Structure 1
Amino acid sequence: MSVTVKIHDNSALTKDQLMSAIKNFDQQGEMIGNGYRNVIKILTIGGERYNIKEFKVPNLVNKIVYKFFRKSKAERSFLYATRLLKAGVLTPSPEAFVEYKSAFTFGSSYYISKQLTYDFTIRKLIDEPECDDYDNILRQFTQFTYRLHENGIHFLDHSPGNTLIKKEDGVYKFYLVDLNRMDFKTLSYDERLANFARLSPKDYMLDIISDEYAKLIGKPHDEVRERMYFFSQKFSSSFKKKEAFKRKYYFWRKKKR
């Protein structure tokens, strides 16, 4: 099986260091999450902390698709991170990606970035509605999302855990992660408002988000809020149906690690 290794020009990693980390990936590192789909670990290499994401090996059809027709999730993550940084959008520093391929199919792949120390994610605002500076954080996050839209960045996995937040000198900085699903285009009005739906926000969150976004986009608040409610409810209903289907037909699946 052949191996493709791409290391960012600004990275301090060497190919030998990277391949050693991948070779021993199962036996070392600090695991993040449950590893049900993809496995994410924090590893120290050369005195620096790195985040390594091992993507789940695709099914038979996608093994062929990723081999011949489409960039892998690891490569897309690397390319999109580089593109975001050039656009002034924060994301943990992209360091490298690694892919394993046979003559006719695609195997495993890894995306490597610098481990970022952050304070919390948007999930905190869902779980702790009484947290300090709640309104300000949510409005700054809405402004951040508006800037994404204005720059033609459609982050398709705009969900609670995929924006890391650091507070520096009273200002909140937002870092996007889990980048393999993005579009770069001019977003329609509905696409902009629907982009908040995956956050699964409470109604009181949507009230604040819609108020801030309406000001930014120059639309009536009631109109923006109504559309955001519609898209949020539509996503929630679809999500519940998918989860029920998985529980019924994929009950046999076990966690990878």
Structure 2
Amino acid sequence: MSVRIKIHKNSELTKPLILETLNRFSKEGELIGTGYRNVIKILEIDGVKYNIKGFKVPNVINKIVYRFFRKSKAERSFLYADKLLEAGILTPSPEAYVEFTSLFVFGKSYYISKQLDYDFTIRKLIDEPQCEDYDNILRQFTQFTFQLHEKGIHFLDHSPGNTLIKQTSDGYDFYLVDLNRMEFKTLSYDERLANFARLSPKDYMLDIISDEYAKLINKPHNELRERMYYFSEKFSSGFKKKEAFKKKYYFWRKKKS
């Protein structure tokens, strides 16, 4: 396997430092999440904390697709982070991406960013509906999402864990993570409202989000809220069907083995 390393122009990392860090990636570092699909760890490099995401090796078809026809998830994360920052949208500082390839197929890849010290994610509002400043946080988050839409940024993985929130003296700053699935285009009305569907099935959250977004886009609240409900229910229904199928499939595969 050959290795390709692209380092951001503002990064202090070097290729030897990156390779040395990846050599200890499997044995060291603080694991974030379960590591079931992609493995995300916090590791120190020269006393600085970095967030390193190791993407799952793609299936047979995608090994060829990512080798010749499409940018890898690691490269897209790196490029999209730069696009976000240029548009004035916060994301942890992009540092580098790494790809391992052979002559004909794509292998492992990594995206490296600065580790961000944040206070919470949107998931807090789902788990703690009585948390302090709930309404204000959710309205500021809605304003943040509106700015994404106005700037032509369609964040396809706009889910509870993918916006990191830091409290400031002026309010809250929002940072996007998990960046490899985005579109940059003019969003339709329905695309804007459907973009909230992954966040929560909780009606009381959608009531606040829809109220704030209706003001920002100058649309009747009742109309907009009902449309948001529709997209939320559609996503939840599809998600449940998909999870049921996965359980059945994995159960069958386990039995076969």
Normalised to the residue count of structure 2, the TM-score between the two structures is 0.97
SS at match of 1:224: helix
Give how far 1:251 is off: 3.5
- Aligned match of 2:38: 38
CA displacement 1:150-192 (0-9 Å, x = unmatched): 0000000000000000001041000000000000000000000
How far, CA to CA, are the matches of 2:38 and 2:149 in structure 1? 28
* Alpha carbons of structure 1 residues 252 and 6: separation in structure 2 relative to 1, 3 Å: farther
- Aligned match of 2:188: 188
- Aligned match of 2:215: 215
- Aligned match of 2:98: 98
Q: Contact 1:126 / 1:201 at 8 angstroms: preserved in 2?
A: no
How far, CA to CA, are the matches of 1:223 and 1:209 in structure 2? 13
Of the structure 1 ranges 21-30 and 84-93, higher mean CA displacement relative to structure 2 is found in 21-30
For residue 99 of structure 1, what is the amino acid of its counterpart? Answer: E
Q: Contact 2:201 / 2:233 at 8 angstroms: preserved in 1?
A: no
- Aligned match of 2:71: 71
- Aligned match of 1:143: 143
Structure with higher RCO (Cα < 8 A, 6+ apart): 1
How far, CA to CA, are the matches of 1:180 and 1:29 in structure 2? 23
How far, CA to CA, are the matches of 2:152 and 2:170 in structure 1? 28
Identity %: 78
Give how far 1:78 is off: 0.2
Q: Contact 2:5 / 2:99 at 8 angstroms: preserved in 1?
A: yes
Matches within 5 A, 1:1-257: 1-251=1-251
How far, CA to CA, are the matches of 2:37 and 2:94 in structure 1? 21
Residue correspondences, number: 254
CA displacement 1:29-69 (0-9 Å, x = unmatched): 11111100000000000110000000000000000000000
For residue 97 of structure 1, what is the amino acid of its counterpart? Answer: Y
SS at match of 1:232: helix
SS at match of 1:198: coil
Unaligned stretches of 5+ residues in structure 2: none
